[in-house]
Structure 1
Amino acid sequence: MSRLEDFRSHIENGYRFKGDDIILGTGILDQEPIQHTQVRIPLKTMNRHGLIAGATGTGKTKTLQVIAEQLSLQGVPSVLMDLKGDLSGMAKAGSMNAVIEKRSNLIGVEYQPTGLPVELMTISQEKGVKLKATVSEFGPVLISQILELNETQRGVIALVFRYCDTHHLPLLDLRDLKKVLQFVINEGKEEITKEFGSVSPATVNTIMRKIIELEQQGAEEFFGELSFEVNDFVRTVEGKGVVSIIRLTDIQNRPKLFSTFMLSLLSEIYETFPEEGDLEKPKLCLFIDEAHLVFSNASKDLLDRIEAIIKLIRSKGVGVFFCTQTPTDVPEKVLGQLGLKVQHALRAFTAKDRTAIRKTAENYPISTFYNTSETLTSMGIGEALVTALNEKGIPTPLVHTLLRAPVSRMNILSPDEINQQVSQSALVHKYNIKIDRKSAFHILDQKITLAEENAGQKSSSSYSGRGPGRRPKETTIFEDLSKNTMVRQIGRTIFRELSRGIMGSISGKKKR
């Protein structure tokens, strides 16, 4: 058997699946694309997560686009983190040219320009559906992480969340959090000391300054109501999965906000979605571009939680795909959970680069057809080394692959097209509204005002001949709240506060 025949047989046997799959490209041998050697990904294993890696300009984002659009065409919705603003064009059909036609013929697929059902979303000032979450839903761990607090300061945040949980004070936005912190060291100092011990005003003041810094980054736009519901990500239109593109181009210099939002999203999906087991196709796929922003400043505790979620979330029918420059950007424990690996070219300009390439090569199966280290530096744009899992969970052969072209537009939408896309969204009318219901800020403000009025009445009565032993009856916060009809309207947010899950609970365990 010739080397070419052996290669064809190698690919055919390694990438022959019984169920539905995604055609990613065709194999390359000795720098030449080989027809009829299609590299496929079983749809059934797309909940086993994945990695798309490579140097800048090698085509990572287009590979992400190809996989997401092929999922959509098979009815699987996805969520895309778009930090560079490259993905909005998925809403419009692509266009044929000679290069795409030649590439499609080599791969053995028909190129059909297709626009996809796209939902533009944002957590900042970008145009789109405004995604928000309450401070309480983030929980003390994530809030402490985004504020970069030390151990002592984290303890104060944990105290604040515990106090608000037990006294039914909704923490909705950063204004609520600041109000409770002020209450802890001023009007509520005596009550807090009796229940939890003394709290240092200096520590609280430091936390307050960090909250103000966060507000200056625009975080007040994200924290609040109406909280996003993850089930809104799981939608189809005319049989195509909706592609939810979260536009993050204006927060590239705010990695803490981005990473904390991502961790909150993963946690919410894990807590909300039911157990599904192994489905014929995933329920939802998440693509995290610039994934190093999630991991670069994460504490050990948070890394452990991410690892736990990546291990467990696949049973919810959810796949998570990280897009970054090198596999070393992803912690080893997380990297070991990733079934699909698409490795674009790396550049060896320095000794450090060459060391990184050797380490990268060790993450891939050994191949008799390629020297992995050499191939990593010689691939062109739109080429990648690919290995996936077959239907039995066994890694497929490593293949140097010529990747297919996206069927949707490879350029961005114009401002007018973005406006039109947003105006057609049903979710805009659901989420792009301002809600300022009664929360910790209002309740504590009311309590402080009531205390001041009682103090004034007491002072007035002492001058009118009342004895010093006769005082107005003091009320507890719980008694004040029980008289307030607004508390009965708290509903969903309070429930989530008291059942904070794996990423946000004080104990770190989901309450049943």
Structure 2
Amino acid sequence: MADPILLARHQKAESWLLPALANRHGLITGATGTGKTITLQKLAESLSNLGVPVFMADIKGDLTGISQTGSVSPKLAAILAERGLDTPEPVACPTTLWDVFGEQGHPVRATASDMGPLLLSRMLNLNDTQQGVLQLVFKVADDHGLLLLDLKDLRAMLQHVGENASTFTTEYGNISPASVGAIQRGLLQIEEQGGDQFFGEPMLNIGDFMQTVDDKGVVNILAADKLMNAPRLYATFLLWMLSELFESLPEVGDLDKPKLVFFFDEAHLLFKDAPAALTERIELVVRLVRSKGVGVYFVTQNPLDVPETVLGQLGNRVQHALRAFTPRDQKAVKSAAETMRANPGLDIATAITELAVGEALVSLLDDKGRPGVTERVFVLPPGSQIGPITPEQRKALLDGSLVAGVYEKTVDRESAYEKLKGRAASTSAPGAGNTPAAGGRSMRDEAADAMKGGAADAATDAVTGGAGGWLGDVAGGLLKGSGRKDSILETVAKSAARTIGSTVGREIIRGVLGSLLGGGNSRRR
């Protein structure tokens, strides 16, 4: 049984987080500058020390200090002495840095097909009609063996469907040119924001988030300061990662500690302007992912940012100060007070507005799964460095990372863009766009070869895309190797394997959120 985590203390009152109940999810709230980031770092550090991997987004760029051994400044020492807290033991956590744009960390990518039409619709802010057209485009691509890997594939597929709308209308339904144009404009906006770098291969292997070093869980930090300039991209990206965890992990029941803890900072972006159906499905995922050993912690300024249906799933609460300057603020204070377990000796609503920086109202689940009595306590400071790391330290982390060199080089294999462009160049016969290109291999062929030739040969063929060349000569040998040196092609092969298979199979496994969010298509694995 893992040791409990002492999170906060004040005189005789202590708040302990039980690792066995850390996957019952949690909520960290409070106004700007009240100490949420320090609480987040303390929790992540403590979980890492127990061997639990952690993922968190670094909105302000100051969470990377968790990778370095900390020291106590004179100011912090004075605060600790005043509050009667012990000096933290210096510690550093193994850390992997990630960045959608590949500038401050290892690149993070997903294929457009893996993202699926429903999450893409959320990212592009499409209406119901436009979402229906996008789903139709994915269906046409599936039926004709056209891989949608990056944005140029999707744009080419949209153009193809738009230009041949009359051909597809009878089988798939009406295709509005206005909707196709609106989707194309949305993709252009995503490209201008740099989102095109997120789509492609090699795709992220979610298992790389769940590693340990010397019995310490790896802390995965996503650089999100630039990503926050595109809030829909940020929210959809994290929602996709949560869905990947849900889809890829098996049911494990109750463990003595989580397999992974996922911190969702700026959580209000996930629910902002979200339709009721989406909120219901997010609630479902949050509830079910617990049984897969994953804890989800929402971090936001106001508890009202999280819908009540989701709020009811969050058992561990840390409430920092709120400022009741407006009627909405006063409502938030009242709501926060009412959702925490009462303490006969504490006026929670009044205390919320009086809390100092680093002070919080804490209610954590006890050993019977009941919310603990709310205590007014001081959050213990982390033993790692508080504040950002230097560029030199960042470079050292990237060079010594467990995934160094795996995701840095983009692989662009034959997909919808290349097949459609080749088809347009080779023939102009009516209906040519409705059959696989000459010499091209359909998804069904690739699936049959995979079953006949074994996993390694199928993965090699998927990597090369049937194109031959030097990659085809060496892929088979490299894919059967071992060690991180081979992991580039291994990662591409795994990504490729997730996109091959029969049409029916691809529709079934496009992804859990594709079905949970109410769509007809499923996401490829």
Alignment TM class, shorter chain as reference: 0.7 to 0.9
Match of 1:409 in 2: 385
Does residue 316 of structure 1 match 2:292?
yes
In structure 1, which of residues 361, 367, 374 is the aligned counterpart of residue 343 of structure 2? 367
Match of 1:132 in 2: 109
Match of 2:474 in 1: none
Match of 1:243 in 2: 219
Letter matched to residue 136 of structure 2: L
Kept after mapping to 1: 8 A contact 2:303/2:332: no
Q: Distance in 1 between matches of 2:371 and 2:358?
A: 22
Report 1:22-421 matches (<5 A): 22-27=5-10, 34=11, 36-97=12-73, 99-100=76-77, 103=80, 111-186=88-163, 188-421=164-397
Match of 2:499 in 1: 493
Kept after mapping to 2: 8 A contact 1:77/1:284: yes
Match of 1:476 in 2: 435
Would the alpha carbon gap of residues 114 and 19 (structure 1) be closer, same or farther in structure 2, given more than 3 Å must change? Answer: closer
Q: How far does residue 333 in structure 1 lie from its aligned partner after superposition? A: 0.6
Letter matched to residue 477 of structure 1: P
Would the alpha carbon gap of residues 26 and 255 (structure 1) be closer, same or farther in structure 2, given more than 3 Å must change? Answer: same
Letter matched to residue 388 of structure 1: L
Letter matched to residue 90 of structure 2: P
Higher Rg of the two aligned structures: 1
> Number of matched residues?
470
Does residue 20 of structure 1 match 2:26?
no
Would the alpha carbon gap of residues 104 and 245 (structure 1) be closer, same or farther in structure 2, given more than 3 Å must change? Answer: farther
> SS of the counterpart of 2:410?
coil
Mean Cα deviation higher: 430-439 or 93-102: 93-102
Match of 1:507 in 2: 520
> SS of the counterpart of 2:88?
coil
Q: How far does residue 53 in structure 1 lie from its aligned partner after superposition? A: 0.3
Q: Distance in 2 between matches of 1:136 and 1:104?
A: 55
TM-score by length of 1: 0.86
Q: How far does residue 37 in structure 1 lie from its aligned partner after superposition? A: 3.2
Unmatched tracts of structure 1, length 5 or more: 1-17, 28-33, 456-471
Q: How far does residue 318 in structure 1 lie from its aligned partner after superposition? A: 0.2
Letter matched to residue 193 of structure 1: T
% identical aligned pairs: 40
Letter matched to residue 167 of structure 2: E
> SS of the counterpart of 1:379?
coil
Letter matched to residue 211 of structure 2: R
Letter matched to residue 195 of structure 2: A
Mean Cα deviation higher: 347-356 or 382-391: 347-356
- 1:7-48 Cα deviation digits (max 9, x unpaired): xxxxxxxxxxx8621001213xxxxxx1x4322111100000
Q: Distance in 1 between matches of 2:233 and 2:212?
A: 29
Kept after mapping to 2: 8 A contact 1:128/1:428: no
Q: Distance in 2 between matches of 1:369 and 1:325?
A: 26
Q: How far does residue 214 in structure 1 lie from its aligned partner after superposition? A: 1.2
Would the alpha carbon gap of residues 126 and 107 (structure 1) be closer, same or farther in structure 2, given more than 3 Å must change? Answer: farther
Report 1:433-448 matches (<5 A): 433-448=409-424
Q: How far does residue 193 in structure 1 lie from its aligned partner after superposition? A: 2.3
Kept after mapping to 1: 8 A contact 2:5/2:16: yes
Q: Distance in 2 between matches of 1:436 and 1:508?
A: 24
Would the alpha carbon gap of residues 480 and 160 (structure 1) be closer, same or farther in structure 2, given more than 3 Å must change? Answer: farther
> SS of the counterpart of 1:80?
strand
Would the alpha carbon gap of residues 391 and 494 (structure 1) be closer, same or farther in structure 2, given more than 3 Å must change? Answer: farther
Q: Distance in 1 between matches of 2:127 and 2:433?
A: 36
> SS of the counterpart of 1:429?
coil
Kept after mapping to 1: 8 A contact 2:145/2:442: no
Would the alpha carbon gap of residues 104 and 257 (structure 1) be closer, same or farther in structure 2, given more than 3 Å must change? Answer: farther
Q: Distance in 2 between matches of 1:130 and 1:323?
A: 24
> SS of the counterpart of 1:442?
helix
Would the alpha carbon gap of residues 283 and 333 (structure 1) be closer, same or farther in structure 2, given more than 3 Å must change? Answer: same
Q: Distance in 2 between matches of 1:395 and 1:164?
A: 49
> SS of the counterpart of 2:226?
helix
Match of 1:9 in 2: none
Would the alpha carbon gap of residues 263 and 136 (structure 1) be closer, same or farther in structure 2, given more than 3 Å must change? Answer: same
Kept after mapping to 1: 8 A contact 2:144/2:434: no
- 1:227-258 Cα deviation digits (max 9, x unpaired): 10111111100011000000011122210000
Would the alpha carbon gap of residues 155 and 483 (structure 1) be closer, same or farther in structure 2, given more than 3 Å must change? Answer: closer
Letter matched to residue 499 of structure 2: T
Letter matched to residue 26 of structure 1: R
Kept after mapping to 2: 8 A contact 1:136/1:497: no
Q: CA RMSD in A?
A: 2.5
- 1:477-503 Cα deviation digits (max 9, x unpaired): 287644899885142223595411221
Q: Distance in 2 between matches of 1:69 and 1:101?
A: 23
Q: Distance in 1 between matches of 2:421 and 2:218?
A: 43
> SS of the counterpart of 1:155?
helix
Q: How far does residue 177 in structure 1 lie from its aligned partner after superposition? A: 0.7
Would the alpha carbon gap of residues 450 and 195 (structure 1) be closer, same or farther in structure 2, given more than 3 Å must change? Answer: farther
Mean Cα deviation higher: 479-488 or 307-316: 479-488
Q: How far does residue 299 in structure 1 lie from its aligned partner after superposition? A: 2.3
